């Protein structure tokens, strides 16, 4: 397997094909535009089959590999191994836990991902769930921002978050969408028992298809003309409200 000076990069058609065949977790693949090669086309098709994002770039983008036989392709390896949610949830129940999950819908900023992971680890969250596409990559920058938390907390990468929510609902979870569209505040929403809190991106929030699948919609009360919070800040508030409720006996209003 050909590897660049960066330990998280591999290049060359056979090397990338081998990595895909071995089930290596790849963040993304960069492919050079205009290449006509049956093996090149096969590797791109394998990427798409495995839901690995492919970006087509001009030849100049491969200047850093100019002395290497990169064959117009470079893959970026994830620094973590992703967990399967359908395997993780039963394990948590078997341990006698009430699982606590954070689901991130299209959060694309690695700094936000890292900050959320750091807070989640401190808050005792059992796993972070992200989609395959339209999500911040778990790369070295994300790990650094998380102060290493992304290396310690399980991250599950799911193809369809809508299907994920359906599975969690059927598994006895309370699924809560953090959205300004809600009528009730977080402190009036029951956050005990098996729980999954859904956070959306700052521009569009949580997708409507996911909101419809959640047990409750909840908002963070805000005043003084502020309409929204940074997603990592909002996630922290939601997580620690869940901790408050899970550690004391209360009767939330809903």
Crossing angle between the packed helical segments 231-247 and 110-123, to the nearest 10 degrees: 10
- Residue 246 gets which letter from DSSP? H
Contact 246, 98 (CB under 8 A): yes
What element of type H or E holds 36?
none
Contact 73, 12 (CB under 8 A): yes
Nearest to 79 by CA among 150, 176, 131: 150
E-strand spans in the chain? Answer: 9-11, 26-32, 54-57, 73-77, 100-105, 127-131, 155-158, 174-178, 184-185, 195-200, 216-219
- At 1 the pLDDT is 54
Chain length of the chain: 254
pTM (two decimals):
0.85
Q: Which fold has domain 9-77?
A: 60s Ribosomal Protein L30; Chain: A; (3.30.1330)
In 50-123, where does DSSP find H-type helix? 85-94, 110-123
Which CATH code is given to the segment(s) 85-247? Answer: 3.40.1280.10
- At 204 the pLDDT is 85
- At 202 the pLDDT is 77
Paired tokens of 148: 């290493």
d(CA 29, CA 54): 5
Contact 195, 244 (CB under 8 A): no
Contact 117, 128 (CB under 8 A): yes
Domains of the chain by residue range = 9-77, 85-247
Q: Mean pLDDT of residues grouped by 10 in the chain (254 residues)?
A: 65 93 90 92 93 89 84 92 94 96 96 96 97 88 94 94 97 94 87 96 89 94 72 95 82 55
- At 134 the pLDDT is 87
Nearest to 214 by CA among 222, 206, 226: 206
- At 225 the pLDDT is 58
- At 213 the pLDDT is 96
- At 3 the pLDDT is 55
- At 106 the pLDDT is 93
């Amino acid at each position: 397997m050909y590897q660049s000076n960066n330990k998280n990069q591999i290049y060359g058609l056979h090397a990338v094909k081998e990595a895909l065949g071995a089930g290596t977790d790849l963040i993304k693949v960069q492919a050079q535009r205009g290449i006509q090669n049956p093996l090149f086309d096969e590797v791109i098709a394998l990427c798409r089959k495995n839901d690995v994002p492919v970006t087509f770039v001009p030849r100049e983008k491969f200047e850093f590999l100019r002395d290497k036989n990169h064959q117009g392709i470079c893959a970026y390896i994830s620094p973590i191994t992703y967990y399967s949610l359908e395997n993780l949830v039963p394990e948590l129940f078997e341990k006698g836990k009430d699982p606590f999950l954070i689901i991130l819908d299209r959060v694309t900023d690695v700094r936000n991902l890292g900050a959320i992971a750091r807070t989640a680890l401190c808050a005792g969250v059992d796993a972070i769930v992200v989609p395959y596409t339209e999500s911040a990559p778990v790369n070295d920058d994300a790990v650094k921002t998380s102060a290493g938390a992304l290396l310690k907390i399980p991250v599950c990468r799911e193809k369809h978050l809508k299907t994920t929510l359906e599975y969690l609902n059927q598994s006895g979870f309370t699924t809560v969408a953090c959205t300004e569209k809600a009528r009730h505040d977080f402190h009036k929403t029951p956050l005990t028992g098996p729980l999954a809190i859904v956070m959306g991106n700052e521009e569009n929030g949580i997708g409507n298809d996911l909101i419809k699948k959640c047990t409750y919609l909840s908002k963070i009360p805000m005043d003084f003309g502020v309409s929204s919070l940074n997603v990592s800040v909002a996630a922290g508030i939601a997580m620690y409200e869940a901790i408050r409720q899970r550690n004391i006996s209360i009767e939330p209003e809903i």
